[in-house]
């Protein structure tokens, strides 16, 4: 055998080994891609189920929020009413405090001022009825 034929034979054997290893690699790669494809399909189906469940849950929550909206609005209205009541009570308290400070000596506080005003109002009504008769 000549050196050129020997080199050609070594090259042919090396090329055959390379083709065999590439073939094995491609077969393993094909199997791996098949498994990955199945896994991706499973994940896609699961994600579709999850999205469907999320849609159902979101619709349920939206329905409950719609039912809850009037209650929240009523609470806001009640809060506003309480705020107005609070400011009215504060105004009345301030009036009585100023009336107490201007009341004559011997007045017994807010109750006395209220009693005095109620008495004078009653007397005025009584006088007006008396003049009508």
Over residues 12-38, the pLDDT tens digits come to: 999 999 999 999 999 999 999 999 999
Please state whether the predicted TM-score (pTM) of the whole model is above 0.85: no
DSSP H or E run through 23: helix 3-102
Q: What residues contact residue 100 under an 8 Å CB cut-off, 6+ apart?
A: 107, 109, 110, 113
Burial 1-12 (b: 16+ CB within 10 A, else e): eeeeeeeeeeee
Can you give the pLDDT at residue 100?
A: 62
| pLDDT tens, residue by residue, 58-111 | 999 999 999 998 888 888 888 888 888 888 888 888 887 776 666 544 445 667
Average pLDDT over residues 4-14: 93
Q: How far apart are CA 51 and CA 65, in angstroms?
A: 21
């Amino acid at each position: 055998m000549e050196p050129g034929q020997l080199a050609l034979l070594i090259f042919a054997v090396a090329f055959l080994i390379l083709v065999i290893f590439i073939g094995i690699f491609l077969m393993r790669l094909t199997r791996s891609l098949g498994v990955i494809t199945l896994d991706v399909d499973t994940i896609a189906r699961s994600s579709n189920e999850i999205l469907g469940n999320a849609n159902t849950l979101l619709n349920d929550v939206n329905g409950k929020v719609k039912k809850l909206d009037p209650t929240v609005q009523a609470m806001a209205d009640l809060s506003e009413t309480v705020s107005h009541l609070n400011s009215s009570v504060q105004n009345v308290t301030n009036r009585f405090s100023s009336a107490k400070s201007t009341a004559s000596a011997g007045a017994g506080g807010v109750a006395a001022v209220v009693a005095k005003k109620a008495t004078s109002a009653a007397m005025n009504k009584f006088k007006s009825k008396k003049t009508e008769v």
